[in-house]
Structure 1
């Protein structure tokens, strides 16, 4: 049963978190994997003797890793960071090519139809090919700008009608994602009327399943924790927004979504001055424990103290709660240090389990449990 749609980068850290999900968590999580562009070598980085991979080889490798991590569990897949007409070397559209690789691995993938890209004829054709490949399983992705376009209902209805007609989809069976992106500087009081109006707009047109996703995580850890070697709590506005909407939106099943433990605007570029950090999800908040630059001693060894802080805090959920919690405990015992990719995996693993528990408990105690027990 669908409880939670995390929007995750299709990267090694996220793959490890998905691979290690407990079955009780995996049953309630249907992730949306956003495929990232192939990393480019910067002028400051040492030159590699290896020939860069072709885009086809890169996408094939990502698809293979995703298949290994997710197996036959359902997922949504998007290529939001690519252009709507981007192609691989053979001339095939990137989305068709990537989904073809997932299909070859026998994956249960659902297409994501981006309204922001729908005007492009090559994108529309690619979506059509993917829907023919996966049996017509899809998600409609709306962004903040699309919500603004609803102020012209005639124009927006024409676009919706075109999507449904060309894709052979029915509103009642098509889940919608309202992707708010970075909401760190957007007060809940400002978001609520816009999102509520969008939910009513969609309900009136027959849509009954809507995912609300956003992220309060800053792009840099020093925006959340000002001092080195200290800790702070950061409010997760996306969770508070969902809890407010769950009970106030009759006729629509409102599903929680977020961006995991990363900001949608954060960079994947590695820096030797990256601070050690643990992003630990608790009720309505992140507990963020910040260390110092990895250039400064004890370098990676600083993670032992950060993990010990989490384990000794009243917020620690114990090592049996998730694989990530087990790894935090092992780190606190000086058994591992973990690199930046591994800490994305550990933090994400705990986050997925914590969100499933939090959303289920809130819905149970407020009588909104039926909203969580409907599959998309």
Structure 2
């Protein structure tokens, strides 16, 4: 049974966090991995010549991998990091009809790579893409590879379509029939995406109505996911070299819905420590930062530009700020917490990708603990150690 569904990018930072996930956390986490497009490679700017120095020929940038090679590499990294644990997989960043060089649909190609590595993947059926015939065919082939294991993904716009129940029921019935799915056994994801600036009192009635709609259609397990993390850290903490708190509205929303939705098991989901729309390109002048998850909030310590002295060494001070705070969960809480402690002792600095790993590692452990404690206090039911 699901307990927590983090929507994570299929990138090196997230892979490393999954690799180091402790067993007690892994038993309660079933991530949704979103495969991203291949990062674009920009040629480096030529440095101005030094008078009298020998002029060296600039090396041409390496050509990008083929899409097939890139997707095969992502699948191999995911298999190495996550092993045979179950997960959902989606390719939301790609077009519904995108293909690899051989002409095969990107989704079936990637799922084939996962299947060849013996991975326990569950297909994501995106309602927003269902109208595309090539996408429908690709999802059907993916379901034949994994024994029909699926998750229905609804976007915020899909909730608006529920206002016309006849039209939505026709579309939903088409999805369920064509995929061979049964409402009682397939989970649904309500993906609210970026919910910054959306008041809780506006979200509650919309999501409550959607849950009731799904309940009357026989669905019994619904994941509610969203993100309060901004695309840029300066939107969360205005001043450089300072700290602040950011409300995790997605968690507060889940806590409000859990005891008030009889007949439906409401599962918590989020986007980890990233905003759904944040850019994967690493800027050389990005600010040093640690996003540390605590109850209902992110505790964020912000440094300054990595291009400004003391550059990466600023992370020592930021890590020490976390470790010295009353919010620090101690180094044995997660691999990420252990790495924060090591950084505070000036033994590592970490790059942007590594800090996504450390922050995500702590985040997943913190969310599992928070979900477990709130579920036990509210319903008397322990979600920990249950498997999907």
Question: With structure 2 as the length reference, what TM-score do the two structures score?
Answer: 0.95
1:308 maps to which of 313, 320, 323: 320
Contact 1:311 1:332 in 2 (8 A): yes
Partner of residue 237, structure 1: 249
Q: How does 1:1-376 map to 2 (within 5 A)?
A: 1-42=1-42, 48-367=60-379, 369=381, 375-376=387-388
Distance 2:170 2:272 in 1: 34
Report the secondary structure of 1:307's partner residue: helix
Distance 1:177 1:52 in 2: 34
CA-based RMSD of the aligned residues comes to 1.3
Report the secondary structure of 2:288's partner residue: strand
Deviations 1:146-191 (A, max 9, x none): 0000000001000110001000000111100000000011011000
- Could you tell me how far 1:371 is from its partner in structure 2? 6.6
Distance 2:103 2:263 in 1: 44
- Could you tell me how far 1:372 is from its partner in structure 2? 6.8
Report the secondary structure of 2:260's partner residue: coil
Distance 1:252 1:372 in 2: 18
- Could you tell me how far 1:350 is from its partner in structure 2? 0.1
- Could you tell me how far 1:336 is from its partner in structure 2? 0.3
Deviations 1:233-276 (A, max 9, x none): 10000000000000000000000000000000110111111000
Contact 2:221 2:267 in 1 (8 A): yes
- Could you tell me how far 1:119 is from its partner in structure 2? 0.3
- Could you tell me how far 1:42 is from its partner in structure 2? 3.4
Unaligned runs of 5+ in 1: none
Distance 2:70 2:338 in 1: 32
- Could you tell me how far 1:12 is from its partner in structure 2? 0.1
- Could you tell me how far 1:63 is from its partner in structure 2? 0.2
- Could you tell me how far 1:373 is from its partner in structure 2? 7.6
Greater CA drift, 352-361 or 262-271: 262-271
Contact 2:28 2:383 in 1 (8 A): no
Instruction: From the superposition, tell whether residues 371 and 335 of structure 1 become closer, same or farther in structure 2 (CA, over 3 Å).
Output: closer
Contact 1:217 1:262 in 2 (8 A): yes
Report the secondary structure of 1:247's partner residue: helix
Distance 2:261 2:36 in 1: 34
Distance 2:14 2:244 in 1: 24
Distance 1:239 1:89 in 2: 41
Distance 2:72 2:27 in 1: 27
- Could you tell me how far 1:210 is from its partner in structure 2? 0.1
Deviations 1:200-229 (A, max 9, x none): 000000000000000000000000000000
Distance 2:381 2:316 in 1: 39
Unaligned runs of 5+ in 2: 47-58
- Could you tell me how far 1:48 is from its partner in structure 2? 5.0
Contact 1:247 1:368 in 2 (8 A): no
- Could you tell me how far 1:50 is from its partner in structure 2? 1.9
Contact 2:224 2:267 in 1 (8 A): yes
Distance 1:228 1:245 in 2: 36
Distance 2:212 2:16 in 1: 38
Contact 1:10 1:66 in 2 (8 A): yes
- Could you tell me how far 1:49 is from its partner in structure 2? 3.2
- Could you tell me how far 1:51 is from its partner in structure 2? 2.3
